[in-house]
Amino acid sequence: MKHKKLGLALAAGLLSTTMMAQQIPQLTANNIDEVLAAMTIEEKAQLLVGGGNPGFVGSGAMLGHQKKIVAGAAGTTVAIPRLGIPATVVADGPAGVHIDAHRDGTDQTFFATGFPVGTCLASTWNTALVEQVGRAIGNETLEYGVDVILGPGMNLHRNPLCGRNFEYYSEDPVVTGLIGTAMVQGIQSQGVGVSAKHYAVNSQESDRTRVDERVSQRALRELYLKGFEMMTRRSQPWTLMSAYNKINGTYAQGSKDLLTTVLRDEWGFKGIVMTDWIGKRKDLPVAQEVTAGNDLMMPGYPAQAQEIIDDVKAGRVDIKDVDRNVRNMLEYIVRTPRFKGYKFSNKPDLKAHAEITRQSSTEGMVLLKNTGGTLPIRHLKTVALFGVNSYDFLSGGLGSGCVNVPYVVDMVTGLKNVGVSTTPQLTEIYQNYVKYAKAKLKADKNPMMWFLDQGQPKLDEIEISERCAATEAKLADAAIITIGRQAGEGMDRQIEGEFNLTDNEKKMIFRVSDIFRAAGKPVIVIINSGSVMETASWRDRADAILVAWQPGEEGGNSVADVLTGKANPSGHLTMTWPIAATDHPSTKNFAPQYDMYTYRTMEDWGAGNIPGVDFCNHEEDIYVGYRYFDTFRRQVAYPFGYGLSYTTFAFANPSVRVKGNNVEVSITVKNTGSVAGKEVAQVYVQAPKGAYEKPAKELKAFAKTRELKPGESETLKMVIEKRDLASFDEAGSQWKADAGTYVFKFGASVEDIRATSSLKLDGYTEKVNNVLASQQPLNLLKQ
Ligand code: BGC
């Protein structure tokens, strides 16, 4: 009897659970429609608004707010336990997983590998290597319990002064698109997602949250959107991050043209769009964002969710748009490791990843100058190391893009690891100074303070006296001077003292150079900067110049490998190094030169019409980077695509042929020198004249050889889609390649063309939507 009762009770229990389960579906990959149908409007609104970022003032009060799931991660999506919807975690990148290294209540550390910054990775021109780095970053993302890494950074280097250029790849959309594709494929192969950012035209940091980037449809399509387009079509990123800025009068995060018409309808994007991290904007209704196809508002504020609810109730937002975004969110969530219950280890293989970072940073370094074969110095014994960044080597940039790395190999250690010692007294002076300067920076509580937790700030240089340089010249076989540059989020760079050398740096280079050269000893300059700087006024004083970028935690080892010939440099510039910053036509209407901390307070915002602040006219139009310098024949310090090697290469047998919708090109590269090395073949195309002007030539493809032994050759094959040969014809809202002769120029830089081949092509047109047009007249640069 007793058993019967129990049996009945059990059956009733089972029944009610079954009924409940029927009424309240629990999310699976196959019941998204059912879950959507079961959601209340409050739950839907919650899912479209992030769980808040504990670091953001006032953002923590949200209903369903997630406590720190992964300490130091940038944000979360909201959990809805009733429907079996877990919170997911997003953390910053792009140079590695940005999370806290230390957590309360445990001695365990959570360091992440510091990989090379974007400019360094792109300068490898090696998509396979970038994909390998992507796999390692993806693995750390997964093993630290993060679902999406907020990267890669894919904005174009419109101007060398942009403070975040170090996070981005290039001034060229094809480099951006193909390197971005490799990175996304690598990361996503690990079962985690990316958030490619900042879509689009986030070309300056000053006033980035409100500046209106006014730009022609042609420049948008051919340059600023093109890299995102190539990457999206090729690798289907899980998420994209909409930029803070406006484009032609509309906030990117509220632009249906950008987020739906172009991104989804034209390119076939299937993932979610999240905003960049901002609160509720006074001048942008949440309704507009929802309708535009911005699925997720980050980091998420309660007022935004409430606004969605109110808007739906008042008919200001169509529930169909809300449901579409919620469905996108659910489709995203079911792919995440957190949803799948992946048991992350919190112990990625940092050692193996250090090896990958070392290899990739070595390959990204660019040798700018090497008079008389100064490098490699194979029998180097003792060097005098000048410059504060020799001792405080900058592994990455500042702001959200920094990584809490376990260590940074500085130059002293890197050289020591290959058996080269540094002069003891100078080393001691600098090392003590670095300790002092760091402590002082902390104590001073200057406005740069937030950077102390967000990367390594640049310390001031010390003055090098003649006596010091003379003493060192007696003790050392060579002088190495490291010139460091730091930059980061929220600030653009100044020309004086940032793009250009400071007086102290100039004095140091000139003094050390005079004295060491008089003693018959070489002077080598290492540029430890994520982006471009001035070189023309001082490069004569150096026998060799190596751009090490901000190469990640293994930096000093990579530099030492290159200096001593253990590695042969094969990096090439992915942006022009101009003689002066003002040589770029965009400089005249780029953000004004000011320090954001001394310029305005929040109250000053919204004045409305300050050039470079409230709006930025892209008068240079399509003539960004080499497209300008090459077409207008302006001299540069080092051209786009440039980079020396310890060996020499010859290009032969250029071939081009049409196959279906593609053009297949190939070139044979031979190592004609005496040491092994890799070379990049860059394919520039000169299009036939048509109804509108075109740049002299444009990069359309590239490939890198494997390591070739002296005398060895490799034939590199590349495919260019016909549609990628087209220009954007605004009048017809179409991609248009004119019929005629296309000249394919194979080069080792934009100025160093080694082989040429031509092809007659039929015309090609592809209609697209007439969207995103400039609302203001622009005085565009013409040939
Ligand atoms: C940055 C993004 C970053 C986000 C989250 C923003 O300020 O622009 O790049 O991913 O913060 O930290």
CA of 545 to the centre of ligand 1 (A): 33
For ligand 1, what atom is nearest to the CA of residue 92? Answer: 10
Position with higher pLDDT, 316 vs 451: 316
Average pLDDT over residues 682-698: 96
C-alpha distances in angstroms, 242 versus 57, 246, 278?
Answer: 22, 10, 11
The verdict on the CB of residue 577 being under 6 Å from ligand 1 is no
d(CA 66, ligand 1 centre) in Å:
19
Does any ligand 1 atom lie closer than 6 A to the CB of residue 505?
A: no
Question: Closest ligand 1 atom, CA of 75?
Answer: 5
Residue nearest to atom 4 of ligand 1 (CA): 277
Which residue(s) pair with 737 in the sheet? 764
Cβ-Cβ contacts under 8 Å for 326 (sequence gap 6 or more)? 36, 39, 44, 47, 48
Pairing of strands 740-749, 272-275: unpaired
What's the per-residue H, E or C state across 559-585? HHHHHCCCCCCCCCCCCCECCCHHHCH
Q: Lowest-confidence range among 443-447, 513-517, 591-595, 725-729? A: 591-595
Q: What's the 201 CA to ligand 1 centre distance in angstroms?
A: 15
Q: Could you tell me if the CB of 208 is within 6 A of ligand 1?
A: no
Q: Give mean pLDDT, residues 696-708.
A: 98
Q: Answer yes or no: are the C-beta atoms of 180 and 196 closer than 8 Å.
A: yes
Q: Does ligand 1 lie within 6 Å of residue 92's CB atom? A: yes
Q: Residue of the nearest CA to atom 6 in ligand 1? A: 277
pLDDT surpasses 60 at 319? yes
The answer to whether the beta carbons of residues 717 and 703 sit under 8 Å apart is yes
pLDDT of residue 614: 86
- pLDDT score for 408: 98
Ligand 1 binding pocket mutation candidate from 53, 76, 150 (most atoms within 8 A of CB): 150
Ligand 1 atom nearest to CA at 151: 10
Of residues 681, 693, 533, 687, the one with CA closest to residue 623: 693
The CATH classification number of 32-53+62-334 equals 3.20.20.300
Average pLDDT over residues 338-347: 98
Q: What pLDDT is stored for residue 427 in this prediction?
A: 98
What pLDDT sits at residue 59? 36
pLDDT, residue 179, reads 98
Asked if the model's pLDDT at residue 411 lies above 50, the reply is yes
Residues of the chain within CATH 3.40.50.1700 domain(s) are 365-567
Contact 386, 407 (CB under 8 A): no
Q: Residue 197: CB within 6 Å of ligand 1?
A: yes
Enumerate residues 6+ apart whose C-beta is below 8 A from 35: 25, 26, 27, 83, 84, 85, 330
Mean pLDDT, rounded, for 620-647: 98
Atom of ligand 1 nearest to the CA of 208: 8
State the CATH architecture for 365-567.
Answer: 3-Layer(aba) Sandwich (3.40)
Average pLDDT over residues 345-363: 98
- Spatial CA neighbour of 746 closest among 702, 696, 694: 702
> Which pLDDT band, with edges at 50, 70 and 90, does 226 fall under?
very high
- Ligand 1, atom 3, lies closest to the CA of 400
Q: Residue 145 C-alpha to ligand 1 middle, in angstroms? A: 19
pLDDT over threshold 70, residue 485: yes
Pick the CATH number of 647-767 from 2.60.40.10, 3.40.640.10, 3.90.1150.10, 3.40.50.880: 2.60.40.10
Contact 382, 421 (CB under 8 A): yes
Q: Return mean pLDDT, the chain.
A: 93
* CA 243 / ligand 1 centre spacing (Å): 10
Question: How many angstroms separate the alpha carbon of residue 176 from the centre of ligand 1?
Answer: 19
pLDDT at 599 over 80: no
Strand partners for 370: 544
Report the separation in Å between the CA atom of 558 and the middle of ligand 1, taken as the mean of its atom positions: 29
Single-letter code of the amino acid located at 296: L
List, in sequence order, the alpha helices (H) in 476-525: 503-518
With beta carbons less than 8 A apart as the criterion, state whether 104 and 85 touch.
no
CA 502 – ligand 1 centroid, Å:
30
Examine the pLDDT at 5 and tell me if it is beyond 80.
no
- Give catalytic residues, as residue numbers: 276
Question: Exposed, middle or buried, 465 (CB in 10 Å: 0-12/13-18/19+)?
Answer: exposed
Nearest partner of 552 among 406, 688, 432, 674, judged by Cα: 406
pLDDT of residue 455: 87
pLDDT of 266-315, one tens digit each? 999 999 999 999 988 989 999 999 999 999 999 998 899 999 999 999 99
Separation of first and last alpha carbons in the chain: 97
CB distance 172 to 100 below 8 Å: no
Percent of the residues in the chain that have a pLDDT greater than 90, as a whole number: 86
pLDDT confidence tier of residue 36, bands split at 50, 70 and 90:
very high
Q: Is 74 in the pocket of ligand 1 (CB under 6 A)?
A: yes
Expressed in angstroms and rounded, the spacing between residue 630 Cα and the centre of ligand 1 is 34
Measured between alpha carbons, how far is residue 625 from residues 278, 395, 531, 640 in Å?
31, 26, 14, 8
Q: Quick check: 14 pLDDT over 60?
A: no
CATH 3.20.20.300 range(s) for the chain read: 32-53+62-334
| Non-local CB neighbours of 80 within 8 Å, separated by 6+ positions | 39, 43, 46, 47, 64
748, pLDDT greater than 80: yes
Which of 239, 400, 451, 491 to probe ligand 1 with, by most ligand atoms within 8 A of CB?
400
Q: Residue 20's pLDDT is what?
A: 54
- Going by alpha carbons, the residue nearest to atom 8 of ligand 1 is 276
Whether the CB of 167 sits within 6 Å of ligand 1: no
* Length of the chain counted residue by residue: 783
Q: Using alpha carbons, list the distances in angstroms from residue 613 to 251, 600, 605, 698.
A: 15, 11, 10, 31
Give yes or no for residue 150 CB within 6 A of ligand 1: yes
The letter for the amino acid at 10 is L
CB atoms within 10 A of CB 517: 16
Q: Are strands 250-251 and 246-247 parallel, antiparallel or unpaired?
A: antiparallel
Whose C-alpha lies nearest to ligand 1, atom 11? 277
- Spacing, Cα 277 to ligand 1 middle (Å): 6
Q: What's the pLDDT at 52?
A: 76
- How many C-beta atoms lie closer than 10 Å to residue 709's C-beta? 10
- How far is 205 from 203, CA to CA, in rounded Å? 7
Handedness of CA 420, 426, 432, 438 (dihedral sign): negative
Delimiting residues of CATH 2.60.40.10 domain(s) in the chain: 647-767
Q: Is the CB of 276 under 6 A from ligand 1?
A: yes
Return the SS3 of 252.
helix
User: What gap in Å lies between CA 293 and CA 261, rounded to an integer?
Assistant: 9
Per the CB < 8 A criterion, the answer to whether 112 and 144 are in contact is yes
**Parallel, antiparallel, or unpaired for β 740-749 and 366-370?**
unpaired
Binned at pLDDT 50, 70 and 90, residue 605 comes out as low
264/306 Cα distance (integer angstroms): 27
Query: What are phi and psi for residue 425, nearest 5 degrees?
Result: -70, -45
Q: Whose CA is nearest to atom 9 of ligand 1?
A: 400
The residue nearest atom 7 of ligand 1, judged by CA position, is 277
Which residues, in sequence order, are CB contacts of 276 under 8 Å at separation 6+? 197, 198, 241, 242, 243, 244, 253, 298
Parallel/antiparallel/unpaired status of strands 212-214 and 615-617: parallel
Q: Which residue has a Cα nearest atom 2 of ligand 1?
A: 276
Q: Could you report the per-residue pLDDT of 367-381, keeping only the tens digit for each? A: 999 999 999 998 889
For residues 89-115, give the mean pLDDT: 96
Nearest-angstrom CA–CA distance, 702 and 641 = 10
Least confident piece of the model among 143-147, 399-403, 413-417, 643-647: 399-403
Among 276, 298, 398, name the best residue to mutate to test ligand 1's pocket (greatest count of ligand atoms within 8 A of Cβ): 276
The two tokens of residue 515 are 């004295």
Per residue in 546-564, pLDDT (tens digit) is 999 999 999 999 999 999 9
